[in-house]
A and B are shown apart, each in its own frame.
Chain A
Amino acid sequence: MTMLRAERVTLGYAGRAVVHDVSLDITAGGVGLIGESGSGKTILARAFLGLLTPMAGNIWYGDQTLKKADMRKFRKDVQPVFQAEALDPRMRIGASVAEALPVRGPRAARARVPELLEQVGLDPGLAARRPHQLSGGQRQRVVIARALAAGPRLLILDEPTSALDVTVQARILDLIASLDTERLLITHNLAVVRRLCRTSHVLFAGRVVESGPTRDLLADPAHPYTRALRDAVPKLGGSPPQARGTTEAVPAETGCPFRLRCPLAAPECERPPVLRDVRGRQVACHRAEDVLVT
């Protein structure tokens, strides 16, 4: 069942749209949002968390839009896991976790904090420390413990491992994979998505350019941008990845926003592409079939 759904959502700041007409469902098995910095992943996550009202379109929570939904229930069901720096630097770890507990009274909250810290693999004695006295990995575990405290059914994870070194990343991913919750994972790290998400959506310049099963997307991308993302992952012993074209996106009204960077750009790319079915996934590219055979 779909717990959260974006329906033709346009988002922006100060009247300027940065995410355009995006529709996607958060389904079981984990959903990944992939894209480079500035592609609109985080702003979309903020909309799913109810922190930002769409300029157009709706976010659906079950059968109600967020505007009409019971926000108490929503806040309990949907929790964010931000980066390790998402802890108040002045609060002790115990107080930070206790703030998220849906229990009344500090005594009841204190009793549950050690249990939550143990659940994420931390020593309950760390409750008395402040964030700067913990390592990055420990802080990330605290952020997860805090999110779990509310008893959510869905976690929205925004780059939960990007500030961590590789070995700590692996442990945090193990922890996330072991949690009994649905998840929307926002990242630019394809390996993380491959591990944790059954479905993925690739964002470029605020638009979904490819959606489908993660395994297919990464094994055989149908959009040149997805392919570029995949090929940009450095390989041990291989030559460093090469950047192509300009980093700027072209306004979508004037054609495909990726065309200045696209190795397959053709005259038809001056028309805006629309999402269409191509071999079991949705792709916004005039030349998707050509991408698949090259």
Chain B
Amino acid sequence: MTSPGAEVPLRRSLPRIPDRFAAFGAVLIVLIVLAALMAPWLAPYPDEPHPLEGSLPPSGAHWFGTDQLGRDVLTRVLYGGRTSLSIAVSVLAVSALGGVTLGVVAGYAGGWIRDVIMRVTDVFLAFPALLLSLALAVVLPPSVNTVILAIAVTWWPWYTRLAASVAASIATRPYVDAARCLGVPAPLIVLRHVLPNSLTPVLVQISLDAGGVILTAAALSYLGLGAQEPTAEWGLMVQQGQTLFTTNWWIGTFPGLAILVTAFAFNMLGEGLRNALDPRARTVK
């Protein structure tokens, strides 16, 4: 007779292999992040003006050309990646931390606590996100921190709403009831059971949102409300190259491509993760 301890496991815990687009997106993101982190070593020139080398087209010496001040555009794109990715990471960290904390509390506690948190969330969601970010960015002095704050203020309610719905569902699971029956205090139940089991959809949403945050940050900097010279930032670089596009197309094109490729890579990864973790939401191909 087979002993109970030797019964055959019914399921294996192999992680799902993401689709090839998601894998491609992940590889692109790794390369972009590495390039940004290693900018001081990868950049061919220091990020300084060289008036005698202004507005040079792409060549063997300057692959992406130079801007009006003679700064190497490739160097600026690499350093700009640091700024743009830092903004994205900061916005997502602040929004997810605040949003998920409020959402999990609302979802688990229910009742009037949920009502208060969700109504405040609804107020923020009622404003068009870009408009609210713009309004905040106009009021505050232009800087990278302003961009982070302006975007985070419009981004957290989405995480609150998502985390609240997931946490409300987790709160009814038998293992949460079992913990309640043991007299485990509510904050411990939230930290030990509800929060860890609510994180998967939030992580997928974060990967889907990263591209959008980078685009929004670029838009604010493009409008002159974010990063300021001499900080390298992709949106700011596109804005500087825009007026010169007909004569010096390379100044705005390469940072624009960097924004496009990064946003696209994050979307591919996010879509793949969502498909892997929630087959019902799978995109029909």
Contacts and interface: CB of A to CB of B under 8 A. Distances in A.
A134 interface: yes
21 contacts: A46-B177, A72-B183, A75-B183, A80-B181, A82-B178, A85-B174, A86-B178, A88-B175, A88-B192, A88-B197, A90-B196, A91-B192, A91-B193, A96-B175, A123-B5, A132-B9, A135-B8, A137-B4, A138-B7, A146-B178, A171-B4
B38 to A, nearest CB: 35
Contacts of B178: 80, 82, 86, 100, 143, 146-147
A185 B4 CA distance: 23
Contacts of A11: none
A285 interface: no
Interface residues of A, number: 42
A220 to B, nearest CB: 36
Interface string A144-166: 00110010000000000000000
Interface string A120-138: 0111011000101111111
Given A88-B175, A135-B7, A51 B13 contact: no
Closest 10 CB pairs of A and B: A123-B5, A86-B174, A75-B183, A135-B7, A82-B174, A88-B175, A121-B4, A132-B11, A122-B5, A90-B196
B182 A75 contact: yes
Interface of B: 3-13, 173-175, 177-184, 192-193, 196-197
A89 B9 contact: no
A41 interface: no
Nearest to A134: B9
A75 B180 CA distance: 9
Most buried by A among B11, B173, B182, B192: B182
Nearest to B197: A90
Contacts of A91: 192-193
Given A71-B183, A75-B181, A75-B182, A86 B7 contact: no
A49 B180 CA distance: 9
A141 interface: yes
A201 to B, nearest CB: 22
Nearest to A88: B175
Contacts of B177: 46, 49, 51, 80, 82, 86
A133 B9 contact: yes
A25 interface: no
Contacts of B9: 132-135
Contacts of A75: 181-183
A141 B9 CA distance: 14
Contacts of A132: 9, 11, 13
B13 A130 contact: yes
A135 B9 CA distance: 5
A138 B181 contact: no
B197 A121 contact: no
Nearest to B6: A123
Given A78-B181, A133-B9, 11 more contacts: A51-B181, A75-B181, A79-B181, A85-B174, A88-B175, A90-B196, A91-B192, A100-B178, A121-B5, A133-B12, A141-B4
A72 B184 CA distance: 10
Contact of A83 (B8, B12, B174, B182): B174
A23 B7 CA distance: 41
A88 B193 contact: yes
A138 B183 contact: no
Contacts of A96: 175
Contacts of B193: 88, 91
Nearest to A135: B7
B13 A99 contact: no
Contact of A100 (B12, B182, B192): B182
Most buried by B among A78, A135, A168: A135
Contacts of A123: 3, 5-6
